[in-house]
Chains A and B, each alone.
Chain A
């Protein structure tokens, strides 16, 4: 069975600093990979998706993620954090009908 591990349940950065949220997956074959974001009191919404095309995937709000097969990673980055990026971020892996979410990483952005 596939699974997702998000390293760090909480990440804090200063406004304007680099955001790096880590995600590693385990899957016997290349999966589809996703990052979702959950703002306070809202449901999750899709940030970006990897489907075996380009390894560097660009998403909404300036986020991007790079698929690295050798490292089984799909880390999420943003060059410059904004206060509005404060939220919880979930990595997810999908293969066939099975889709699994990571435990989530809460991002705090300090002024």
Chain B
């Protein structure tokens, strides 16, 4: 089984719908991240969490929200999806408790299409 699991892997939805992408991990890491990947833009950080009680906005948090339900679970929500949120979304974890290591462990991605 994968260390970082994302569900769903693929989702097609309509404008205005609420969507939740879920991430669970078995690596025991406190730090979790949600990234968005668009062709030609690389990965951009949406939200991150350094522990269960810690949530931080990333570069492109507008239109998104997150919930850290447990150390192992970090979900991303689109409250009212719009077409320009069509992208590939990645969850990642990171070990360590002090300075960042930068060594991220990624899920396989959730491809979201908003019509």
Contacts and interface: CB of A to CB of B under 8 A. Distances in A.
A43 B43 contact: no
B102 A94 contact: yes
Interface stretch (A11-19, A68-76, A77-85, A100-108): A100-108
B4 interface: yes
Interface residues of A, number: 22
A41 B99 contact: no
A78 to B, nearest CB: 21
Contacts of A49: 102-103
The binding surface of chain A is classed by DSSP as strand
Contacts of B53: none
Contacts of B43: 44, 90, 101
Contact of B107 (A34, A43, A104): A43
Contacts of B106: 43-45
A96 B102 CA distance: 10
B108 A41 contact: yes
Interface of A: 4, 9, 32, 34, 36, 41-46, 49, 90, 92, 94, 96-97, 99, 101-104
Given A43-B4, A43-B107, 4 more contacts: A42-B109, A99-B102, A101-B42, A103-B40
Interface of B: 4, 40-45, 90, 92, 99-100, 102-104, 106-109
